């Protein structure tokens, strides 16, 4: 399964798709990128005259690249026209260190910790274009395996 196929299976679309590309994916984790465009809807009010990417959006970007893309890859043998995987976030714990500004490109790296009983848990880190740690944490989700 290619990275373009994985991205096409994501259950998101603009303006809530935070994956531009995947540069690595394996049974053990993913590496992907996203550039926060200066016209993103959330910059209009966060913060007045000094736009900063909200932490909840950074967490969502980490979850989409590091958890959902990996979950789709891990279930690639089950995916068909009749079955599209659905992944729901169950928990997140993220520590933030640096802000992300408009037009900034980030890299997300995830490492699978556990995948059993349809639950995926990953350690995920986000870096800015200077390779500085922006945030890191653990994110978990449940994968729906039936089409009912």
DSSP string, 61-97: HHHIIIIIHHHHHHTTTT-BTTB--EEEEEEEEEEE-
Cα 59 to its chain centre, rounded Å, is 8
Known catalytic membership, residue 46:
yes
Name the active-site residue from 17, 35, 46, 98.
46
Count of positions (residues) in the chain? 148
Tokens found for residue 145: 């395996």
φ, ψ at 17 (rounded to 5°): -105, 120
Instruction: Tell me the catalytic residues.
Output: 46
């Amino acid at each position: 399964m290619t990275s373009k196929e994985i991205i096409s299976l994501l259950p998101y679309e603009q303006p809530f798709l935070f994956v531009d590309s995947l540069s690595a994916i394996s049974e053990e984790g993913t590496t992907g990128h996203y550039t926060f465009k200066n016209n993103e809807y959330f910059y209009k009010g966060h913060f007045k005259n000094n736009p900063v990417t909200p932490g909840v959006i950074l967490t969502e970007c980490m979850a989409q690249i590091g958890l959902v893309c990996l979950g789709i890859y891990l279930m690639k043998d089950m995916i068909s026209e009749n079955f599209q995987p659905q992944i729901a976030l169950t928990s997140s714990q993220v520590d933030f260190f640096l802000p992300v500004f408009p037009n900034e490109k980030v890299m997300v790296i995830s490492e699978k910790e556990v995948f059993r009983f349809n639950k995926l848990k990953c350690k995920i880190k986000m870096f800015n274009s200077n390779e500085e740690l922006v945030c890191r944490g653990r994110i978990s989700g449940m994968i729906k395996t039936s089409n009912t």
